[in-house]
Amino acid sequence: MKILIAGGDGFCGWPTALHFSARGHEVAIADSMIRRKWDEELGTQSLTPIVSFEERIAAWKEVSGLDIRTYVGDLTDYEFVEHVFRDFEPEAIVHYAEQRSAPYSMIDREHAVFTQVNNVVGTLNVLYAIKEITPECHLIKLGTMGEYGTPNIDIEEGYIRIQHKGREDVLPYPKQPFSFYHLSKVHDSHNIMFTCKSWGIRATDLNQGVVYGLWTDETRKDPRLYNRIDYDGVFGTALNRFCIQAAVGHDLTVYGKGGQTRAFLDIRDTLQCVELAALHPADFGEFRVFNQFTEQFSVLDLAKRVVKVAADMGMTANIAHLENPRVEKEEHYYHAVHTKLLDLGLQPHLLSDELIRDLIETAAKYKDRVDFGVIAPNATWR
């Protein structure tokens, strides 16, 4: 299959590109390299050293003997998008190419506007390119469980059956997004659903939980193939952030009481899920939604688990309850359905002490790259 990975230089995109390439697909990456520029803007860097995009691609060819085609440009530029689609003619596009951080979108007006324009316009351009150039192309779009919020009922997979005043219908599940970033994902979902209905596009929206972990079979093969991992208060996510903090002797930063429950998955399962979606495409005109996660944890439970593993390794890790910069429920009901990917054959990598230990050991190896000054949250929802 010819698969285009939009955002293929990023945390999820890079290992996805290698994964598909290793399995014999013809892979192309489209990326603007903006994630690297955000490091410069925020004065931070990946915990793991990552080489230039060109070096990454050359290293993969050297290690595997396989080529990955590359296109450097911005999805908000339709001339660029049109060129990529006409030149590569993808049969599937895995779309990661969005600003993915809720805190980044909440820094100020400029960052909120950028996030929504970048994400919504880029996705609209992809939809038009599919319609006009490759109408059979299957769009695999990375959404987020954050679209749903924390309702006091079970979260279904995209749709819910409603009975109202004697009538019944299956409707899109109500959305209660957490941030301007999550709002951009809701706008994407609505635009994709509309174009599937109007133009006959086929699309899979993968509402992904919080991704943890670092290594995949391909990224371990050579230091030049290493994936990035973030620890800062803007792009660092729970568990990864906690493991790094434990390794360098920093208190684990739990926001508020830590009772917030979220959906999580191993990055290896991100690759599995995307591959399953590609190998079992949606029907033409279908907008299907999969909830892409394997387990649910509260933030405090994750922090306590890291403390326990660190103690087993002879380290002392403490938990610091910071004032929550976000406006969110800290104690709430949370139960989300996630059966469709399991039905397609997903074999989950459930969270293990061994993985936590591996993350802490990796962080200890690169602890000199950690800047304590960027760990605290610097964006507020208020």
CATH code of the domain in which 46 resides: 3.40.50.720
Segment 270-288 shows an average pLDDT of 98
What pLDDT was estimated at residue 210?
A: 98
Q: In the annotation, is 144 catalytic?
A: yes
What pLDDT was estimated at residue 107?
A: 98
Residue 381 domain-assigned (yes or no): no
Angstrom distance (rounded) from CA 166 to CA 183: 32
Angstrom distance (rounded) from CA 348 to CA 364: 27
Tell me whether strands 261-266 and 295-298 are parallel, antiparallel or unpaired. antiparallel
pLDDT digits (tens, 9 = 90+) for 115-141: 999 999 999 999 999 999 999 999 999
DSSP H or E stretch at residue 167: strand 167-172
Residue 231 domain-assigned (yes or no): yes
Residue 170 domain-assigned (yes or no): yes
Angstrom distance (rounded) from CA 137 to CA 134: 5
**Strand, helix or coil for residue 234:** coil
pLDDT digits (tens, 9 = 90+) for 13-52: 999 999 999 999 999 999 999 999 999 999 999 999 999 9
Residue 214 domain-assigned (yes or no): yes
Residue 382 domain-assigned (yes or no): no
- The domain total for the chain is 1
As a 3-state breakdown, the chain gives helix, strand, coil percent values, each rounded to 5, of 40, 20, 40
Amino acid at 54: E
Which residue among the candidates 115, 144, 150, 253 is catalytic per the annotation? 144
pLDDT-derived band at 102, boundaries 50, 70, 90? very high
- Cβ count near 175 (within 10 Å): 17
Closest residue by Cα to residue 336 from 305, 288, 297, 303: 297
Which residue among the candidates 123, 141, 173, 185 is catalytic per the annotation? 185
Question: Residue 241 sits in which domain range?
Answer: 2-373
Amino acid at 110: E
pLDDT digits (tens, 9 = 90+) for 230-276: 999 999 999 999 999 999 999 999 999 999 999 999 999 999 999 99
Which residue among the candidates 71, 96, 148, 181 is catalytic per the annotation? 181
Q: In the annotation, is 340 catalytic?
A: no
Q: In the annotation, is 255 catalytic?
A: no
Angstrom distance (rounded) from CA 207 to CA 279: 18
pLDDT-derived band at 342, boundaries 50, 70, 90? very high
Question: What average pLDDT is seen over the chain?
Answer: 98
Residue 363 domain-assigned (yes or no): yes
Residue 139 domain-assigned (yes or no): yes
Residue 166 tokens, joined: 């004697």
Rounded to the nearest 5°, which phi and psi values hold at 70?
-130, 140
What pLDDT was estimated at residue 128?
A: 98
Residue 132 domain-assigned (yes or no): yes
